[in-house]
Amino acid sequence: MQTGYKEIEMQKEREKMAKEINVGIGFATGRKSFKNVLKTYMYNLKESELTESDRIKLHLFVAYDLHYENAEPEDFVHIETECMEDIDQAYFIGEKETRKAIEELVSQMGMSRKEAGLLFGEGYASKRNIIVYEALKRGIDYLIFLDDDEYPVAVTKSRKTAVWGGQEVLRKHLEHIRNADITNGYHCGYISPIPFISFNDVLQEKDFRTLIEALSNDIVNWDTIKSVMKNGGVTYADTGVLVKDEAEEVPEINRAKFISGSNLTLNLTDPDRVLPFYNPPNARGEDTFLGTCLTDRTVLRVPAYTFHDGFGAYQHLLLGVLPTNLSYIKADTKQVVERFYKACVGWIRYKPLYVYITDRENYDEKMAEVRARLKETLPKVCRYFGRDNFMNVLEEFEQYHRNVRQHYRDFQDTKAAWKKITAQLVSREKRKTAI
């Protein structure tokens, strides 16, 4: 009799768990100001009434970098009580927690330290991976990544002045993620790090186009960049997207599906279908490389915008101050030129591996083209900006080109190591279900 009662109670508990949806909110951040962004999203969730649902349980995951702004752990883990009142559980992942996770992989999952280091080592791919890992361990169903410089609003230029509208970001993802492996929203604002350029005899438009073609991939290309430059560096939201409800499948272009690292939701309900992030050492592009693994995955673009405050000039949006016009970003300040320089370095660092993965048969030919274009244009860029360090872009290219095969092996080893994690998590879940 007692046994029957116990079985009934267990069944009730399983039914209760089946009704709950555990949603993770992930930040891989180095900015102390991420707390202001989190607060805005929590108000956004209240406004969209998601926090009123008993079925939806919210879990916060923050993997923080102390070096980016010379911060202390307290800058990330101490969050206002009001902001946390709708969060069921919060997990903060710093260097100590990362070391613990690495030891866990080595001692409990039979990984080598090299494999564990590939997954949870340095860089933002590793921070995203450890968030996904912790979310999987805790039975999170869906995990949305948000950036610390993106806000849940959209801006259009359908009139003479800017027109703003709030966006129900998480709600839109939850409407579609059940039918997909990944959902990804849209971005507006200062997405591009390329400022408005006033061409002259030193740097002509054709020279700049040659540089962009050297740096670009299938998504970041000259036509896109030129269009954004005409708007002073601003990408405005498409009004057609704002009024629709349906999602669209992201097409595969040259062996990759383009996704961004934020306004991005992963379906974790089947760990076998979850893939890791990767970037070459000291490079970015973790979203780009994940995009090369998605041939047999369903990836949907959902109609939800976030505003990217790439230059940190519009944090007052978080206070409800909506500008009527967005400033042109001109290449006339040290900050703007520095951001453009860092973007050039970042793009060129992952260009060799991206081409090696997506077009290996033409790899050598394409690398020769990149080298020739950089040699032709970088001296002109240096003279235009009055900075010799743009020549470093060529040095970075040669270094990452030399190491491309090692980076490719590391990428493959990262995926193989991740497979060990998901296989064990699936096995544990099957044992739990059997009990």
pLDDT tens profile 405-415: 999 999 999 99
Query: Between β-strands 299-308 and 248-249, what pairing exists: parallel, antiparallel or unpaired?
Result: antiparallel
What average pLDDT does the segment 169-193 reach? Answer: 95
**pLDDT for position 10:** 53
| 241-258 pLDDT per residue, tens | 999 999 999 999 989 999
| 305, pLDDT greater than 50 | yes
What string of H, E and C letters represents the secondary structure of the chain?
Answer: CHHHHHHHHHHHHHHHHHHCEEEEEEEEECCCCHHHHHHHHHHHHHHCCHHHCCCEEEEEEEEECCCCCCCCCHHHHCCCHHHHCCCCEEEEECHHHHHHHHHHHHHHCCCCHHHHHHHHCCCHHHHHHHHHHHHHHCCCCEEEECCCCEECEEEECCCCCCEEEECCHHHHHHHHHHHCCEEEEEEEECCCCCCECCCCCCCCHHHHHHHHHHHCCCCCCHHHHHHHHHCCCCECCCHHHHCCCCCEECCEECCEECCCCCCEEEECCCHHHCCCCCCCCCCCCHHHHHHCCCCCCCEEEEEEEEEECCCCCCHHHHHCCCCCCCCCCECCCHHHHHHHHHHHHHHHHHHHHHHHHHCHHHHHHHHHHHHHHHHHHHHHHHHHHCCHHHHHHHHHHHHHHHCHHHHHHHHHHHHHHHHHHHHHHHHHHHHHHHC
What average pLDDT does the segment 21-41 reach? Answer: 95
> From the CB of residue 94, how many other CB atoms can be counted at a distance below 10 Å?
16
pLDDT tier for residue 4 given thresholds of 50, 70 and 90 = low
| 43-102 pLDDT per residue, tens | 999 888 887 788 999 999 999 999 989 999 999 999 999 889 999 999 999 999 999 999
Q: CA 326 to CA 163: how far, in whole Å?
A: 11
pLDDT tier for residue 1 given thresholds of 50, 70 and 90 = very low
**pLDDT for position 232:** 82
- Output the CA torsion sign for 190, 191, 195, 199: negative
CATH of 2-192+232-327, one of 3.40.50, 1.10.357, 3.90.550, 1.25.40: 3.90.550
**What is the overall mean pLDDT for the chain?**
91
| 350-407 pLDDT per residue, tens | 999 999 999 999 999 999 999 999 999 999 999 999 999 999 999 999 999 999 999 9
| 34, pLDDT greater than 60 | yes
pLDDT tier for residue 434 given thresholds of 50, 70 and 90 = very low
| 9, pLDDT greater than 80 | no
Q: CA 311 to CA 149: how far, in whole Å?
A: 9
What average pLDDT does the segment 98-109 reach? Answer: 94
| 177, pLDDT greater than 80 | yes
**pLDDT for position 101:** 96
Burial 157-168 (b: 16+ CB within 10 A, else e): eeeeebbeeebb
pLDDT tier for residue 110 given thresholds of 50, 70 and 90 = confident
Q: Contact, 270 vs 298, CB < 8 A?
A: no
Q: Contact, 325 vs 162, CB < 8 A?
A: yes
| 259, pLDDT greater than 70 | yes
pLDDT: which is higher, 199 or 16: 199
Of all residues in the chain, the percent with pLDDT exceeding 70 is: 93
What average pLDDT does the segment 291-315 reach? Answer: 95
